[in-house]
Chain A
Amino acid sequence: MATEAPACDLRVAAIGRGAPVLVTVDGRPLQAFEGESVLAALWAQGASSLHTTARTHQPRGFFCGMGVCFDCLVTIDGIPNLRACLETVHAGMAITLQRDAGHAHAG
């Protein structure tokens, strides 16, 4: 599976990382590294809009980064509303960004 060249990479180049792992975001492959949070993997490659809101369809990034604000919600391997900042990537992880629905999945 070929990895798309990222538009940008916000990773600090001088830092050694874990083994490369491939995840998918909305079906497209994304390069991540073992030990990274899902938020870090998405944010590093310029995914500034992690979800769009239900009422006004506005893009949202992450806000608190520590599991309190529930603004970085993504669907991971079919489980909705997981906080990207608290989840760690694993090889083959299927991430789906929640568009216009985010909190509507609540439960």
Chain B
Amino acid sequence: MQADIAVVGAGPGGMAAAVAAAEAGASVIVLDEYGKPGGQFFKRTGEEFSVARTRRTREHERGEALRAKLAHPRIAVLSRALAWGRLDGDLMIFHDGRSEALQAKALVIATGAHDRPVAFPGWTLPGVMTAGGAQTLAKTQWVKPAQRMLLAGAGPFLLPVSQSLLRAEVSIAALVEITKPRDWLPHIGSLWGQWPRFAEAFDYKRELRRAGVPTIYGHKIVRALGESKVEGAVIAQVDHAWRAIAGTERTIAVDGIAIGYGFLPNIELAASCGCALRYDAPARAWFVQCTPDMGTNVAGVFVAGEITGIAGSAVALVEGEMAGLAAAAHAGTVAAGPIRARQRTLARERAHLYRFADALNVLFGPRPGLWEFLKDDTTICRCEEVTAGEIAGCIEDGCSSLKAVKDWTRAGMGLCQGRMCRSMVSEIIAAQRMTELSSIPFPQIRPPIKPVPISALLEREGATS
């Protein structure tokens, strides 16, 4: 396979990059792990379903418009394709049971983010899920994740998720928001002028109110109850550091719990390509370090969207266009001069949108109390079933890096390759050794960045030897 530009990820950032690059004269191949373009934000139901207009969400039309632009003659979209690494400059793709190498002059990585996993006793019970996962099942499959659910988390993402659940006829027992409205006041200045976003929030709140869903502020989920599946949720009031306050627990009968305490970026592919990372203090996470035109320290590798900072779809669209233009210039299909004016406009727009994103990230960014694992037997690594106690024990014995903890306990060694537990293991190491989280480096990532059959790797060996 060959193209001027390879784009990995078909969410808002990847789609915008592909369209911008194609319009700038480049041939583009978009690789996406999912069944249809859209990513998480513009995810939609399949053509097989028929859904009344009134159940559709506000993203629907915009997603359709962007998807239509992918029909550009210079764009090819390969769905259900995993880009698992970059070897000798070739992008390695696993698709339809086999591996293929893609030669491209430039690469745009727009792999998005996933809900931040947060452990608490009972979080591995069937029926505990991420807010994004609950929304996907409701909004794209029209299957209720549960009959009666509790949503717990931080920040505005819980609003569209609850809307999707309500439109799929799920009863929502409560929306449990960890911050309080009075925490928001100091940030009003940064939020000033972002009226369309407020209008969106009010629309969501109105729908929640009409459905009689209570919002409980200043509380978090502390435990999921049940033997073989969720039968209840225990929430508790939190202090300023998001620690549960003893004696404030209360139990709510539900058969499903969705958690949404923000997002973690999918930076594994970029990291495996050698892209430099930066630590972001409000998000307590690592992101890809990017240049003003969305390039990286690796020549020919560009980035867009959540992997550069959690900022939402509006920023991803702008960054995608910037990355697409810069990649086309790098590939030589457009001269740097003619696109400069557009790049300047986009950079200004990005800066404006980032004011809002930065405020939200500070306001709803995780605080240390989120990781007070109430019991040592709480599972942290879901794949290898490693508990908080086991991890604490090996740190006590001297392990001080993610790699040491993984070698000692197997935490992070499973099929998710640490995507679920890594951030929490880092938090435990930092807390126990009383160091800054930023001093725990992101681990070395090598291809394949997600599991592929060994035959896919052997094919490559055969091709190069």
Contact = CB atoms under 8 A, between A and B. Distances in A.
Interface of A: 10-12, 14-19, 33-37, 39-40, 43-44, 48-50, 53-56, 58-71, 73, 81, 85-86, 88, 103, 106-107
Given A10-B145, A63-B117, 20 more contacts: A10-B143, A10-B146, A12-B142, A15-B50, A16-B51, A36-B143, A39-B141, A55-B385, A56-B385, A59-B126, A60-B124, A61-B126, A62-B126, A63-B130, A66-B40, A68-B419, A69-B382, A69-B416, A70-B383, A85-B133
Contact of B143 (A18, A44, A49, A63): A44
A18 B46 contact: yes
Counting contact residues on chain B (CB < 8 A from A), the size range is: 35 or more
B416 A70 contact: yes
B415 A106 contact: yes
B48 A60 contact: no
Contacts of B34: 66-67, 86
A61 B229 contact: yes
Contacts of A60: 124, 126, 382
27 contacts: A10-B145, A10-B146, A10-B147, A15-B50, A17-B48, A17-B142, A34-B48, A35-B46, A36-B141, A40-B141, A43-B143, A48-B229, A55-B385, A59-B125, A60-B124, A61-B128, A61-B129, A61-B229, A63-B117, A64-B115, A64-B420, A66-B40, A70-B414, A71-B382, A81-B415, A86-B34, A103-B414
Interface string B8-39: 00000000000000000000000001110000
A37 B130 contact: no
Nearest to B454: A107
B229 A49 contact: yes
Nearest to A88: B35
A106 B48 CA distance: 33
Contact of B141 (A14, A37, A49): A37
B126 A18 contact: no
A35 B129 contact: no
Contacts of A65: 129-130, 132-134, 136-137
Given A50-B126, A73-B415, A103-B415, A35 B49 contact: yes
A69 B385 contact: no
B127 A39 contact: no
A43 B138 CA distance: 11
B143 A11 contact: yes
Contact of A53 (B141, B142, B229, B385): B385
Contacts of A67: 33-34
A73 to B, nearest CB: 7
B144 interface: yes
A16 B50 contact: yes
Contacts of A55: 384-385
B136 A66 contact: yes
Chain B facing A: main interface SS: loop
Given A40-B141, A69-B382, A107-B453, A48 B414 contact: no
Interface of B: 33-35, 40, 45-52, 55, 80, 114-115, 117, 124-130, 132-134, 136-137, 140-147, 168-169, 228-229, 266, 382-385, 414-416, 419-420, 451, 453-454
A68 to B, nearest CB: 4
Contact of A68 (B51, B145, B266): B266
A15 B140 CA distance: 11
Contacts of B420: 63-64, 68-69
Contacts of A18: 46, 48-49
Nearest to A10: B144
What are the 6 tightest A-B residue pairs by CB atom distance, in nearest-first order? Answer: A65-B133, A61-B126, A35-B48, A18-B48, A16-B50, A40-B141
Contacts of A107: 453-454
A44 B141 CA distance: 10
A17 B453 CA distance: 33
A54 B385 CA distance: 9
Contacts of A35: 45-49
A36 B228 CA distance: 25
Contacts of A17: 48-50, 142
A66 B114 contact: yes
Nearest to B40: A66
A15 B54 CA distance: 12
Contact of B383 (A36, A43, A59, A103): A103
A39 B142 contact: no
Contact of B133 (A12, A48, A63, A81): A63
Contacts of B415: 70, 73, 81, 103, 106
Given A12-B143, A12-B169, A33-B48, A62 B129 contact: yes
B284 to A, nearest CB: 18
A14 B337 CA distance: 54
A55 B50 CA distance: 43
A64 B144 contact: no
A59 B229 contact: yes
A64 B130 contact: yes
B50 A86 contact: no
Nearest to A57: B385
A18 B141 CA distance: 11
Nearest to A72: B133
A63 B229 CA distance: 13
A12 B144 contact: yes
